[in-house]
Structure 1
């Protein structure tokens, strides 16, 4: 076994000891951004045990550039001794999770805290430091600086929002069946948009700049779902990747067909792929389990691009569900900056096979829901699914109406709006206050 494989296996073993991967303890189906996986597939069910493979031209050949390592036959010589084989098997133990699901998880884009990026200046407003977390206060005092060169302690919601947008673009440009392999020029180009560089269109520098100018969220302050949604909308509008447009309802989860179509359609009626972002608060003092089935249903939809959620220090990017748990990518892991240009090693830091899950009872109720509508038939399918009644005893989390109400509008429309507000307690900007 060569030294590179030994180092990779040692790192894998250390991570499993320090932070063990959870075991698959349920028979319930597994869902990941609209894809379903059998929890315990049999060898006679190839579709469940193997990743779904798109056309050869759209998916690169597999390699070991990510957090995973090659199978035994590729990683070790044919006559490798038994001890080394055991080490490989232990280091690649998937704890009962279906390989096809983990392949899907590993192919999602995962953006996290980064350090040593080019400076982001603090606000010149003396009152701005009042919004810092205690950790940010201490860090800035130790550095004796008026600049930020990392986002540790305050950038987790930005990173969750970046992850949601990056996976939206990945699905739009590569297709939902794309799986990780050798880094390609296309993947490098996509991830370069999120590099920690002021020139990158979706860098943390751009998020912070728009947050300060348009949302009143200063550098070093934690972004809420509303500010994150508005930053995504503004930056996408400015750079228009793949013709994507963004429809935002940052303070409630109500979608109005007339205003949505004004965003998605051109004057000639042509439809553009549109990302729907809905900010909502699903509970006052914790997650209200009346909305549990609604969250599950949202992640099961083929239009789902995940949920960015949480308050200070607790933001996550949720991508799937099983039983009463959510699967998520954690932005709180700290890594060196994502530079320009990107190396293969840099790209590998944007993927992980390390599964994380959380119980609904431990989820923060502040959420930013994301859905990608590719065309009008996709809109019709999504609308029909959203309008399906929830299971008995549960409440819907998204509502669709034909016309957006206006001041002085018709009473029946306003009454519908008020009923929606009673059903879904909405999120007000960064403070997380409920609108009633």
Structure 2
């Protein structure tokens, strides 16, 4: 009996019993990356099961011409034995959730912990092991190793960042209306960029290498939003997928139009699609509910590509909201490596129909917000939405200014900057708020 298979099946059974699919218990509208769904659509109204797309989100989706991808999102190992044939029920009962919403959820790219990938060497610095979690310490002791062949216990913020970037590219290349089963060859090409292989441009190996070289985050250490944002920026700048560029404010959620345009525009004035990444900390000792409506508003924007955040030292990838809850994809599912080349079964492990939600009171305040600005009309629409005042009694989480302040610059601009910083606390990874 294969011990890895035993662990996977036991994990499935445990999760199925302990953490069942939640029920839809609210009448509030459901939102998923800017798309709105009726919580309880009536079967007599065919339009009620379709997403309601704000005008600013309208984009033609590429035609679906390729073979379909299996919709089964259960983990499938590369080699099957008799024990692996044991089946644990997935969440086949929709529990009152609108099918159109679950179709949207299932079509998002979901990247998780992986095992048995090629080695990532530990840091040669003797002090590096001091930054390991207790779980990583124990794992390394048991393995008697100086290398990592999985990212269990330390890589979930990297996986959340990969998910955010992968869904950005999916929306950019396929359109927001893309659904699982369409354009499988194109999706295979996209996901191959995130394979657990040192040659893949957005592999965990590349994230860890840049994190160590540029951010001081060693292999096996927890990544925070700031390090994750910097890694995404550097890797995208190096490989330029679909002409994408990245504008990063890793330690605050203030956007400056002049510096943004320097990233998004070429010297001839042509505009490139640009991923905006904003690291912020919405509270000091826990999530400050004054920012709750701001987080909801961010996920309702048509240009949202989600939020990498989660619980303290446990990252999730937030993609939607209903009432006072957030929907998320959880990277803490352990699967065999995503290899090159990818099979249909490998691709299926990057999708799930299993819904997870969390209340705001359980959310860690440290977050990485993502928005995809494809052209100047997107910029104008996003800027107008961000500058709309929040509901009475709540605070904005993103601020936009014309020019970036500098030392010795205009006093009024710097005063404006200081007021923004009083509203939204910057993310300081040295204070122990890093998320895995």
Report the TM-score range of the alignment, normalised by the length of the smaller protein: 0.7 to 0.9
1:55–1:298: structure 2 CA closer, same or farther, 3 Å change rule? closer
Shift of 1:16: 4.3
Q: Distance in 2 between matches of 1:72 and 1:57?
A: 29
User: Structure 1 residues 370 and 71 mapped into 2: Cα distance closer, same or farther (>3 Å)?
Assistant: closer
Contact preservation (8 Å) 2:279, 2:427? yes
| Cα shift at 1:19 | 2.7
Would the alpha carbon gap of residues 37 and 148 (structure 1) be closer, same or farther in structure 2, given more than 3 Å must change? same
Query: For residues 82 and 280 of structure 1, do their structure 2 counterparts lie closer, same or farther at Cα, with a shift above 3 Å needed?
Result: closer
1:331 to 2:303 alignment: no
- Looking at structure 1, the residues matched to 311 and 80 of structure 2 have their Cα atoms a distance apart, in angstroms, of 49
TM-score between both structures, scaled by the size of structure 1:
0.88
Distance, in Å, in 2 between the alignment partners of 1:321 and 1:67 is 32
CA contact under 8 A between 1:166 and 1:191: conserved in structure 2?
Answer: yes
3-state SS of 2:179 partner: coil
The 1-side partners of 2:310 and 2:47 are apart by: 35
- Contiguous gaps of at least 5 residues in structure 1: none
Give a deviation string over 1:284-330, Cα, whole Å, max 9, x none. Answer: 11100000000000000001000001466410000000000000000
Instruction: Name 1:398's counterpart in structure 2.
Output: 398
Once the two structures are TM-superposed, the CA of residue 92 in structure 1 deviates from its matched residue by: 2.3
Gapped regions of structure 2 (runs ≥ 5) = none
Q: Aligned to 1:435, what secondary structure does the other structure show? A: coil
Deviation of 1:43 after TM superposition, in Å, equals: 1.6
Query: Cα–Cα, structure 1 residues 435 and 256, in superposed 2: closer, same or farther, change >3 Å?
Result: farther
CA–CA distance in structure 2, aligned partners of residues 121 and 304 of structure 1: 35
Deviations 1:31-60 (A, max 9, x none): 000000000001233233257999999999
Equivalent-residue separation in structure 2 for 1:434 and 1:280 (angstroms):
12
In structure 2, the CA distance between the partners of 1:110 and 1:77, relative to structure 1 (3 Å rule), is closer
Q: Give the structure 1 partner of residue 384 of structure 2.
A: 384
C-alpha displacement of 1:381: 0.2
Q: 1:56 to 1:182 in 2, by over 3 A?
A: farther
Question: Retained in 2: the 8 A contact 1:156–1:331?
Answer: yes
1:212-269 CA-partner distances (Å, limit 9, x unpaired): 0000000000000000000000000000000000000001000000000000000000
Which deviates more, 43-52 or 280-289?
43-52
Say if 1:178 and 1:59 are closer, same or farther in 2 by CA, change over 3 A.
farther
Give the alignment's TM-score, normalised by structure 2: 0.88
Change (3 A) 1:53 1:37: closer
Give CA-to-partner distance per residue, 1:169-199, whole Å, 9 cap, x none. Answer: 0000000000001661100000000000000
What is the aligned length? 436
Query: Residue 426 of structure 1 contacts residue 435 of structure 1 at CA under 8 Å; is this kept in 2?
Result: no
